[in-house]
Structure 1
Amino acid sequence: MSPDEIPGLLKTISLADPRILPPDPDELRGKTAMWAAVLADVPREYALRAAQEHYRRSPYPILPSDIVAAYKADAAARLGRHVEQAPPVDPVDEVAYRRALRDGRIAVAHGTQPPAPVPAIAAATPADRPYMPDWVRAQLGIRPRPPELSVPCPKDGCRARPGTACITPTGRTRTVAHQARRDAHAHAEAGQASA
């Protein structure tokens, strides 16, 4: 806020709390100078909203530190939701790049620009992106997984999820899937073929 805006702010606040305006003109000038120094970084509209919120919650007179604390907490919350995007500046020009980053953060902190959301991550299944590429599997001599592992095992005592091997009643991993799982896979394949 500029020093010219402080008397109007104090007068507006005095409508809710007459204690805010001192009767002595010299004291009023001193108070105006102090509030102007403390609220130098706070926009006028925000200061008015913060004063309204303060008197909504508290019967005590407002101090400029109350407005600054609310403004800093609000700016920190906005910056906490902001995900830094690469600015449209040549990254080789380090000074311009840093200036663009700083200006973007300041705009978000002051509320003139909304925080940039976190970009959505596309979901992928293991079939879409295997852990190990096929050529590495071939080099290492690793066999592809049996196709029946694509369905859950219906056998009681096993109930292995898709993609995991069947287990024995003692909890050991089976090298071959249960017959019930192979049948379930064949049934699923037949259902897809007829559809």
Structure 2
Amino acid sequence: MDRRETAALLAYIGRLDPRAIRTDQGEAADQLAQWHELLGDVPLSTPHGWDARIAARQHIRTSPYPILPADIGRPWEGYRRDRINRHTDPTPAVDPDDQAAWQAELVRARHAVATGTAEPASHRQLGSGRPDPELEARLKAIGSCIPPAVRTELAPYRPIRAAREAAVAQGRPDPLGVRCPWCLAQAGEPCCRRRIGLDGAASGHAPRATPHPTRLDLAAARHHGPQPAMA
């Protein structure tokens, strides 16, 4: 704030708290010079929520002590920190190869946010509305977020999942859709090689490329459903 704004702030404070009034002309000039020196970089108000008069009124209303320049400067620094913490740098609209212009744009945006002349730019959030119609039509056409051509290329690198997808596509039961009664692998996990030690306890955790026969039988039974009882 300039000297006139500082003088206006002191006059406003004097109306709320007569203790801040200086009747001697020399003391009033010294007070104005002191406050302007300490608050010269603090705006009187900004378009987005800061007003030094509100900070002064809050202090006078809640504190029994006479107001000092720090009682204005401290809320201002908190206001700046809060805005910068809520700000996410948007991508500058300049050539990214021009490092000087890129940095200058970031500094300009941050300074505008910190001084209250621009609102913080937050992360974009996912909305709760319907998905994009074009994306929805594409997913309906290919049936998955992974296109068929890409799925085929990935098959050699994930043979277990590829076998499950092939079984489901051909109408066969998915053996990994049930818990294995032999190695106790949970649904969705591949079977493991189960070895019996000398103490009778099961050991070994190496995954099998194919499920155990008992798991295949259980998946088939679940797939076809319960059979009618024989008369």
Asked if the contact 1:14–1:21 (Cα under 8 Å) also holds between the matched residues in 2, the reply is yes
Which residue of structure 1 lines up, in the alignment, with residue 80 of structure 2?
A: 75
User: Does the alignment pair 1:93 with 2:98?
Assistant: yes
Note if contact 2:176-2:190 (Cα within 8 Å) is conserved in structure 1: no
Q: Secondary structure at the match of 1:119?
A: coil
Q: Secondary structure at the match of 1:104?
A: helix
Distance of aligned partners of 1:7 and 1:86 in 2 relative to their CA distance in 1, 3 Å threshold:
same
The CA deviation at 1:75 is 0.6
CA offset at residue 97 of structure 1?
Answer: 2.3
Give the conservation status (yes or no) of the 8 Å contact 2:13–2:20: yes
Structure 2 residue ranges without an equivalent (≥5): 46-50, 128-143, 165-173, 195-201, 225-231
Q: Given the superposition, is the C-alpha separation of residues 25 and 160 from structure 1 closer, same or farther in structure 2, using an over 3 Å criterion?
A: farther
Does 1:42 find its partner at 2:79?
A: no
Moved more, 10-19 or 55-64: 55-64
Structure-2 residue corresponding to 1:54: 59
Distance 1:133 1:40, change over 3 A: farther
Assess, with a 3 A threshold, how the Cα gap between structure 1 residues 93 and 59 changes in structure 2: closer, same or farther.
same
Structure 2 distance, partners of 1:121, 1:16, is: 47
- Classify the secondary structure of the residue corresponding to 1:15: helix
**1:2-53: CA deviation from partner (whole Å, max 9, x where unpaired):** 1111111011111221111222111111111111111112111221121122
Q: State the Cα distance separating 1:134 from its structure 2 match.
A: 5.5
Superposed displacement of residue 154, structure 1: 11
- Two-structure CA RMSD over aligned residues (Å): 3.6
Residues 1:119 and 2:124 are matched in the alignment = yes
TM-score by length of 1: 0.71
Partner Cα separation in structure 2 for residue 96 and residue 35 of structure 1 = 36
Q: Residue in 1 aligned with 2:7?
A: 7
TM-score (norm 2): 0.61
Q: Secondary structure at the match of 1:61?
A: coil
1:17 matched residue in structure 2: 17
**Which stretch shows the higher mean deviation, 173-182 or 10-19?**
173-182
Q: Residues 87-120 of structure 1: CA distance to partner in whole angstroms, max 9, x if unpaired?
A: 1122333333222111100111112211111233
Which structure has the larger Rg over C-alpha atoms?
2
Query: How many equivalent pairs are there?
Result: 177
Matched, 1:135 2:140: no
Q: Which amino acid aligns with 1:41?
A: D
Which of 208, 214, 219 in structure 2 is aligned with 1:182?
Answer: 219
Q: Give, in angstroms, the shift of residue 133 of structure 1.
A: 7.2
Superposed CA deviations along residues 134-162 of structure 1, whole A, max 9, x for unmatched, are 63552x5x41325337857598xx6946x
Is contact 1:153-1:159 (8 Å) kept?
A: yes
Q: Counterpart of 1:59 in 2: which secondary structure?
A: coil
* Residue type at the aligned position of 2:70: S
| 2:160 alignment counterpart | 144
Greater mean deviation of Cα atoms: 29-38 or 42-51: 42-51
Kept in 2, the 8 Å contact 1:39–1:68? The answer is yes
Percentage of pairs with the same residue: 30
Amino acid at match of 2:153: W
